[in-house]
Chains A and B, each alone.
Chain A
Amino acid sequence: MKVGVLALQGDFLEHEKMLNAVGAEAVEVRLPEHLNGLEALIIPGGESTTIGKLASKYRLVEPLREFATQKPVWGTCAGMIFLAKDIGREQPLLGLMDIKVNRNAFGRQINSFEADLDIQGIEGGPFHAVFIRAPLVTQVDANAGVEVLARLDDGGIVAVRQGHLLATAFHPELTSDTRLHEYFLKLATLSVR
């Protein structure tokens, strides 16, 4: 299976390694034509302002929206922000998921942390999650089909799914735990028509 990784900026190489480890072929996406022939796409961690500006400048926003109507897309951290409908400030967004996201919700880098999470649909014990200047989902539209997959102990929402769209506030690609990448590939397999 060919899975794209948006390679405008950020830790796209780490996602590529994870995809290769679970048996998928990773393809770097920097321009609209790079989406041809892909069955799913990951938007990596990075700086969401940088990724958004480069996506606008290189006319990727509409092609990405079109891609996401049919095929699975997963955003990690900056990718989650880019997928959200509302982040409470002006910056380029895909606006595909009915979630409200707060950027840098935990504070500055000194507040970046690691924590163990129970994630719905992920078997085999807690998932060790790495949060770097991470965002937080502050509102989900359940009527639009948004499911919460994981929360912190204090209730903060850090993983959500809306049909074939997935978003995590943390970085599975910075660990060696491939379970979420496998979960995402399953979404991709199911949505192949």
Chain B
Amino acid sequence: MSNQHGYNGNSNGTQTGTETVKRGLAQMLKGGVIMDVVNAEQAKIAEEAGAVAVMALERVPADIRAQGGVARMSDPELILEIMDAVTIPVMAKVRIGHFVEAQILEAIGIDYIDESEVLTPADEDYHINKHAFKVPFVCGCRNLGEALRRIGEGAAMIRTKGEAGTGDVVEAVRHARAVLGEIRRLQNMPAEELMTYAKNIGAPYHLVQEVAATGKLPVVNFAAGGIATPADAALMMQLGVDGVFVGSGIFKSGDPARRARAIVEATTHYNDPAILAEVSKGLGEPMVGINVSTMSDSERIAHRGW
């Protein structure tokens, strides 16, 4: 990508692509809303509403669900159009295990890669070795073990999976409570129990030790998958996540710009019920949801990932 300052990267002992800068961008997104967009026009609406980043994709999860078929990385041309349209960071999705899709996104200068269960997995055993990339990755999780496996592979940011494209927040709540509850239990565990715990949840021992000592994940943790209202966003923030992804919830609703602004404001003022009441007024039709409890296992996508 263009280097407007003409900075050659060799002065001041400069290093790029370090763990610190990869995790650091996620730190800058905290307290913010990352919105799914399918074209440059939606990206501008999202930026104008106060999104901290956009996720560029061809179809939002609700449409991927409705249309079926194989869901793949989006056309790089579309992603580049979206990157040109806004000044905020742009993310895009690759299939689980599809490291060549990730190489392509790195080559076009994407800011963050989501190795996402929303797309059809390319590998049913292995995720991408994310340490091999200078671009940071975000990955989904349903519990602490899955979060720490992804961080072990090099993820610089984590999001709970929820159940994308449903507008039903119940799975996002389940996954956030699972991760945050397991961290709370871990903090009270004596040192001799940590190895067996690491074995049982399938997580790297050194990361289990780190979480036990610090009481938090070593990377930023957002909520995703089913957030459709300002109240949903504030609920996830009060549960203890660092920010929210909103996928289908904005551009599948009646008044996307207004709903987007309201969700941004609710994420900042998540602890102020008077403001939450104000921003929740008159938002028009929310996205038509799918009640997750009525879905069959084969319709659910959160179980993708190993």
Q: Which A residues fall within an 8 A CB radius of B?
A: 7-14, 30, 45-47, 49-50, 53-54, 57, 77-78, 89, 102-117, 130-133, 136, 152-154, 156, 171, 174
Contacts and interface: CB of A to CB of B under 8 A. Distances in A.
A13 B27 CA distance: 10
Contact of B13 (A57, A115, A133): A115
B136 A109 contact: yes
B278 to A, nearest CB: 11
B21 A8 contact: no
Given A9-B268, A46-B32, A153-B12, A109 B112 contact: yes
A47 B52 contact: yes
A111 B7 contact: yes
* 8 pairs of A and B residues whose beta carbons are closest in the complex: A153-B11, A115-B12, A109-B111, A112-B21, A9-B31, A11-B27, A47-B52, A53-B50
Interface residues of B, number: 51
B32 A50 contact: yes
Nearest to A156: B5
A152 B31 contact: no
A13 B31 CA distance: 10
B87 A136 contact: no
* Chain B interface SS verdict (over half): loop
Contact of B12 (A78, A106, A108, A116): A116
B1 A111 contact: yes
B16 A50 contact: no
B222 to A, nearest CB: 13
A109 B135 contact: yes
Nearest to A57: B265
Contacts of A108: 1, 83, 89, 109-111
Nearest to A174: B24
A45 B28 contact: yes
Contacts of A89: 87
Contacts of A14: 27
A171 B265 contact: no
Contacts of A154: 5-8, 11
B4 A105 contact: yes
B3 A152 contact: no
Among B25, B31, B88, B267: residue with most chain A CB under 10 A = B31
B15 A113 contact: yes
A106 B51 contact: no
Given A7-B31, A50-B264, 17 more contacts: A8-B31, A47-B29, A47-B89, A49-B88, A50-B52, A50-B88, A77-B28, A103-B87, A107-B2, A109-B110, A112-B21, A115-B11, A115-B15, A130-B21, A132-B27, A133-B89, A153-B12
